[in-house]
Amino acid sequence: MIPRYAPKDMAELFSDEQRFASMLEVELLAAEALAELDVLPREDVRVLRTRQPVIDAEFVAEVNERERITNHDTAAFVDVVQSRVGMPEGAWIHYGLTSSDVVDTALCHVLTRAMDVVLVEATALRDALTRRAVASIDLAITGRTHGMHAEPTTYGAKFSLFALQVDRDLERARRARASIAVGKLSGAVGTFSNIDPSVEAFVCERLGLVAVPATQVIARDRHAEVLYACAALGTSIEQFALEVRHLARSEVGEAEEPFTAGQKGSSAMPHKRNPVLSERLCGLSRVLRGYLQAGLEDVALWHERDISHSSVERIILPDALQLTVYMLRKATGLADGLVLHPDRALENLTVHSLGLVFSQSVLLALIETGLSRDDAYRIVQAASRRSVEERKNFREVIEADSEVTLSNEVLARAFDPQRLLAHRGRFLDALTWRT
């Protein structure tokens, strides 16, 4: 991931130093398990832990240099660890294991930790949206379907629905976290041919993982599930950001991104306050969905394994997790800082809409007088057209229509936005996590 979109804590989690550190811990725990079985000399294994190398930039460089010879990164890693520990004790590193035992278990350990960060940040986004929902539930705004004025809703209703969607994403992320929190140390084709099953149980327990049946590799549908959780969160963020972009348009003006001191919206036009963060989030969500596609294609491998997934995962898994956390943090800031313009929203609702958002209310009122639905519909439809063409308020047109016999009291009720929003509290009732 390029530094622009790589949070420091997540970049460190997916660094080569962390990858090798996790692999080394798997190796050492496996040796300790074998010592418990009296397969390896206990004193030699204690030396392995005592002499374990420091995993730093120098270690990484040495592994990379060794890989030029081995053309196998795990073999290069094992060679360097053994040389750093020294012989004869170093010979017990990687005893009875295959590369994927170490690499897959270490990768799942890192992905589990990464998903823990995702869960924290997704919760923060959900809670930010929830706070805005509570604060703005009474602020009326024009609802739009097909991009056209429909009926009144509220800012709070919008925020509530976004929060509910992120909460569903949280549940997906929890399931993905559980799915990836696994490990395997079962040998070349998963049959424990040269390793006792208790070693796998020992290592996984100490890493907080669950031992699972596998071939040479852990099944890749688990990794695809992680990528789906990331893509789902990205898509929910996109939906929120897209709404911000629409509401920020000059003709609408009902919300805008926070604009900090010294910020410039355009290099050429000083008046501009472009929704650049929302646009960025919409764009990055496309990248996350692309990673999911690649991850799904990694699921089907030849027989007990091939290596076609490996090169793909080295890119998409670190990038997807880093990008997801970046987007979550930015989206949370956007949710907290979004500037609402309720006066403009009310003006759009009551003035610029010409009152057409109340057409269904008038339709129902006419039906209640005994008209058929089709006759009432045609009266309201024709009045609506005249309102648009003549740029007259819809209520004035209705009142002047000889076919309409509604009393002032009935019309006042039909054109009352608060009546249409009487049940807005149900949106907040759905936010069950709200305290």
User: Per this entry, what is the length of the chain?
Assistant: 435
Which CATH number does 97-256+272-344 carry?
A: 1.20.200.10
DSSP 214-251: -SSS--THHHHHHHHHHHHHHHHHHHHHHHHHHHHSTT
pLDDT tens per residue, range 109-157? 999 999 999 999 999 999 999 999 999 999 999 999 999 999 999 999 9
Report the pLDDT value the prediction gives residue 391, as an integer from 0 to 100.
Answer: 94
- Over residues 167-178, the pLDDT tens digits come to 999 999 999 999
Domain range list for the chain: 1-95, 97-256+272-344, 356-414
CA-nearest of 225, 171, 180, 174 to 204 is 180
Average pLDDT, integer, range 86-106: 96
Stretch 7-30: mean pLDDT:
97
Q: How confident is the model at residue 271 (pLDDT cuts 50, 70, 90)?
A: confident
> Which pLDDT score is estimated for 126?
98
Judged against a pLDDT cut of 90, whether residue 306 lies above it is answered with yes
Q: Which of 22, 46, 50 is nearest to 32 (CA)?
A: 46
Catalytic option among 72, 83, 193, 266: 266
For position 81, what pLDDT does the model report?
97
pLDDT at 268: 74
pTM score, two decimals?
0.94
Average pLDDT on 157-165 reads: 98
Using CA atoms, how far residue 235 sits from 6, 130, 171, 287, in Å, is 19, 18, 15, 10
Closest C-alpha among 111, 88, 82 to residue 24: 82
Sign of CA dihedral 310, 106, 189, 226: negative
What is the arithmetic mean of pLDDT over 385-401? 94
| pLDDT of 262 above 90 | no
pLDDT at 31: 97
For residues 244-250, give the mean pLDDT.
96
Has 267 been annotated as catalytic? Answer: no
pLDDT score of 208 more than 90: yes
Give yes or no for a contact between 1 and 11, defined as CB atoms under 8 angstroms apart: yes
CB 318 within 8 A of CB 112: no
| pLDDT tens digits along 220-239 | 999 999 999 999 999 999 99
pLDDT at 261 over 80: no
280 has a pLDDT exceeding 80: yes
The rounded distance, in Å, linking the Cα atoms of 218 and 239 is: 33
216-to-107, 124, 199, 296 alpha-carbon distances in Å = 14, 38, 16, 19
How high is the pLDDT of residue 435? 72
Is pLDDT of 380 > 90? Answer: yes
Please report the pLDDT score of residue 298 as a whole number: 96
CA dihedral of residues 39, 41, 46, 49 (deg, nearest 10): -50
Average confidence score pLDDT of the chain: 95
Give the pLDDT of residue 122.
98
Amino acid sitting at position 209 = L
May I ask the CATH architecture of the domain 356-414? Orthogonal Bundle (1.10)
Q: Which region among 228-237, 270-279, 377-386 has the lowest average model confidence (pLDDT)?
A: 270-279
Q: Do domains 1-95 and 356-414 have the same CATH topology?
A: no
pLDDT computed for residue 257 by the predictor: 93
Q: Report pLDDT digits (tens) over 53-94.
A: 999 999 999 999 999 999 999 999 999 999 999 999 999 999
Report the percentage of the chain scoring pLDDT > 70. 100
The CATH-assigned architecture of domain 1-95 is Orthogonal Bundle (1.10)
User: In this structure, are residues 350 and 395 in contact, taking their beta carbons and an 8 Å threshold?
Assistant: no
Q: Say whether 266 is catalytic.
A: yes
